Homo-oligomer: A and B are copies of this chain.
C-alpha cells in the first residue's frame, strides 16, 4: 500500500456555511463553518438518482481538517468511505462531514448556553442545506448520523433528540454511562487544580492558553471535563456549573443530575419512541477503551433491549480508544444499507 493521499473515485466538495444558529455564540467562535460533502463514484453520471445520506460528527477536540490526518500505514475515513463505495462494499451514499469545534474543544452537538447552538446548526441548517444542493433521499428515513467518542455521543443524542431528522445512527465508542466514563476523571481534575492551579479553573485556562496546548500531563482531562460541563450543565446566563467540588471532587448531586439527564444510557427511556423509530442502530467499542466506553456501549444496548429494541448491530472488539478509524466503513455500510431503501 502506498502511504500517500490518493485520488478519490468519488468527489469531495468543500463548502462553507454561514450559520445563523452559531452567530453570537458564547465562546466567540466563528459562525462561518467548513462542511465537506463526498458523493459516490458515478454520482454525476446518474443525474436522477437519489442517495441516502450520512452525517459525520467528530470526537472531542476535533475540527474538520483532522479528517485528513494521516496515521502510518492507514487510510483516513474519507478515503475509506470513498474506496468502500468504489469497490461496492459500501452502498452509494452522500457522506457529510460536519465541523462543530469550539474554543473549549467541542460542543457535544447540543444546544448549550455554554458553547452555542450546535444541535440547531446541524439539524436546522446543515441538513436542509445539503438536501437542497445534493440529490439525497430527503427523508429522515434515509438519513443517518455517525461518530466516534464525543462523535458517538453526538450520534446517539441527535438521533434521540431529533428523530424527525435522523432515521438511523452509529456510535463508535460513544460517550455513555457517565459514572464509568467521566466521573473517574473528576479526581484527577481536583488534584491537578489543587497542586498546579491553586484550585482554580481560571488559572488553568490562563496557563493552558499561554503555551503549547495539551503539553502538560493533565491538560486533556482538565479541558475536556470543563468542556463537558459547558455542554451539559451551563446555566441560562452562561455560568458553567461543575458537577463536583473542585477542592475535593465531591459530587454535587443537583449538577451531576443534569449530566445524567444527558447520558445516552439515561435518555433511552424518555426517548423510547424515537429509538423505536430508528431503522439502523450500530454500536461498537474497543474492549480496552481507556474511557471504558465499552461498558457504556453495553449499558446502552441493554437499555435498548429493555424497551424492546434488539435489532441492533453490536460488537466489542479488541482495541483501545485510539486509532479505530478502520471501524467507520463497517458502520457506514450498515447505515447505507439500512437507510438506502
Contact = CB atoms under 8 A, between A and B. Distances in A.
A341 interface: no
Contact of A287 (B69, B191, B251, B319): B191
Given A63-B4, A215-B319, A265 B250 contact: yes
The secondary-structure label for the interface of chain A is loop
A278 interface: no
Interchain residue pairs A-B with the least CB separation, the first 6: A73-B213, A61-B72, A184-B184, A248-B299, A3-B63, A69-B69
Given A2-B30, A191-B294, A250 B299 contact: yes
Contacts of A247: 298, 302
Interface string A64-79: 1110111111100000
A296 B290 CA distance: 24
A70 B65 CA distance: 7
B180 A323 contact: no
A187 interface: yes
Contacts of A71: 214
Interface residues of A, number: 54
B4 A74 contact: no
B184 A302 contact: no
Nearest to A60: B72
Contacts of A64: 4
Given A63-B3, A323-B214, A323-B215, A250 B195 contact: no
Q: Most B CB atoms within 10 A — which of A73, A195, A212, A251?
A: A73
Given A63-B72, A65-B68, A74-B213, 16 more contacts: A2-B30, A3-B101, A63-B70, A66-B69, A68-B70, A71-B214, A73-B213, A73-B214, A179-B183, A180-B187, A180-B249, A190-B295, A191-B295, A215-B323, A248-B295, A249-B299
